[in-house]
Amino acid sequence: MKILLHVTSPDPETRWNALRFANLLLSRDEDVTIFLDGPAVEYCAGDCEALGLAVQAKTFALSEGVLLA
C-alpha cells in the first residue's frame, strides 16, 4: 500500500512520532512518503538526544522512504 504522511507541526515530538511511524510502516514493506509543509520543513529543528530526529530521518532515508519538502 502507498502511504502519504503530511506533517505541518513545528513541534519536535510530533515530527519525531511521524518519522517513527513512517519507519514502522517501512519495516512492514509499505511504500511511505512524508511531505513536510510549513514549519515542519526544518524537521531536525529542536532535535535533542532524547528524541533523535536526525537518527529517525536517516533511518527513513536509508530504508527507501521518500521525504518531500
Please report the pLDDT score of residue 47 as a whole number.
85
CB atoms < 10 A from the CB of 17, how many?
A: 15
The domain ranges of the chain are: 2-68
Distance between CA atoms of residues 52 and 3, nearest Å: 23
- pTM, two decimal places: 0.90
Please report the pLDDT score of residue 58 as a whole number.
92
Which has the closest alpha carbon to 64: 29, 12, 16, 38? Answer: 29
Please report the pLDDT score of residue 62 as a whole number.
94
Please report the pLDDT score of residue 26 as a whole number.
97
Average pLDDT over residues 46-68: 90
Q: Are 47 and 12 in contact (CB under 8 A)?
A: yes
Q: Are 8 and 19 in contact (CB under 8 A)?
A: no
Q: pLDDT tens-digit profile of 2-55?
A: 999 999 999 999 999 999 999 999 999 999 999 999 999 988 888 888 888 999
